[in-house]
């Protein structure tokens, strides 16, 4: 199977299935989270070269960095929050991992619910606008001017159309069905972002926007 092809049908671990202990300050199971993040790597090639270059390598490296933190701290590795509290390298790796995951989350969450975009003819539906807005919230504040220009150039010129992207996720299902199937995965990822952002990214524009929306 090519990466991205039938991603949802072949996914071994979804963010929706990551155990979260609500009785223990929403403690997130580390191993399950890393497994779901590893699965996401199979999705990134479907976005094309620009996004793969922008975050693909970083996500892979940061997953490995958190995993190495588990090996250094086996007695504190059960939950992400416990591991984060005892390992400064994990703090850096998890922060950047969540930024990469958040970029994808905000863009796709907007796309699956964007009635204006979905009202257009299928061949004219684009991911570009959603990713521009997501980039502005998540990564742009942490990039240099030149890095920002390069990232936006890639987003504006190399992202696939919505039609091509969703067909890369499932070549046999209608795109509206694929969008619906993506929602539980996105909801699971969004819940994890809600829990971890106050820990790893409390001053980010993305976190502040989500916090204000809930007031």
Residue 205: pLDDT above 50? yes
214 domain-assigned: no
123 within 8 A of 163, measured Cβ to Cβ: yes
Is the sign of the CA dihedral 204, 194, 196, 58 positive or negative?
Answer: negative
Q: Which residue segment(s) compose the domain that 170 sits in?
A: 7-200
24 domain-assigned: yes
Average pLDDT over residues 149-156: 86
Least confident segment among 75-84, 152-161, 204-213? 204-213
First and final CA of the chain: distance in angstroms? 44
74 domain-assigned: yes
Average pLDDT score, the chain: 87
CATH code for position 59: 1.10.3520.10
Q: For 71-100, write each residue's pLDDT tens digit.
A: 999 999 999 999 999 999 999 999 999 999
Q: For 46-70, write each residue's pLDDT tens digit.
A: 888 778 888 898 999 999 999 999 9
* Predicted pLDDT at 85: 96
* Predicted pLDDT at 185: 95
* Predicted pLDDT at 126: 83
208 domain-assigned: no
205 domain-assigned: no
Quote the number of domains for the chain: 1
Query: Model pTM?
Result: 0.88
* Predicted pLDDT at 123: 58
DSSP secondary structure of 62-95: HHHHHHHHHHH-GGG-SBHHHHHHH-HHHHHHHH
Percentage of the chain beyond pLDDT 70 is 86
DSSP letter for 27, please: E
Q: Which of 130, 69, 140, 77 is nearest to 104 (CA)?
A: 130
20 domain-assigned: yes
158 domain-assigned: yes
211 domain-assigned: no
* Predicted pLDDT at 164: 87
* Confidence tier at 206 by pLDDT (50, 70, 90): low
């Amino acid at each position: 199977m090519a990466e991205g092809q039938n991603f949802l049908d072949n996914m071994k671990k979804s963010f929706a299935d990551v155990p979260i202990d609500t009785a223990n300050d929403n403690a997130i199971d580390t191993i399950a989270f890393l497994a779901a993040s590893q699965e996401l790597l199979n999705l990134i090639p479907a976005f094309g070269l620009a996004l793969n270059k922008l975050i693909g390598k970083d996500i892979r490296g940061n997953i490995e960095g958190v995993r190495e933190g588990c090996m250094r701290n086996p007695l504190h590795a059960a939950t992400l929050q416990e591991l984060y509290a005892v390992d400064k390298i994990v703090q850096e790796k998890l922060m950047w991992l969540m930024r990469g995951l958040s970029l994808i989350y905000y863009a796709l969450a907007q796309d699956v619910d964007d009635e204006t975009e979905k009202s257009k003819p299928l061949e004219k539906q684009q991911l570009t606008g959603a990713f521009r807005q997501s980039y502005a919230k998540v990564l742009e504040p942490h990039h240099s001017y030149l890095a920002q220009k390069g990232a936006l150039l890639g987003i504006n010129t190399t992202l696939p159309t919505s039609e091509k992207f969703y067909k890369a996720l499932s070549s046999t299902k209608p795109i509206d069905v694929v969008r619906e199937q993506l929602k539980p995965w996105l909801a699971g990822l969004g819940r994890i972002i809600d829990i971890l952002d106050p820990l790893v990214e409390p001053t980010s524009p993305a976190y502040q926007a989500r916090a204000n929306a809930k007031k």
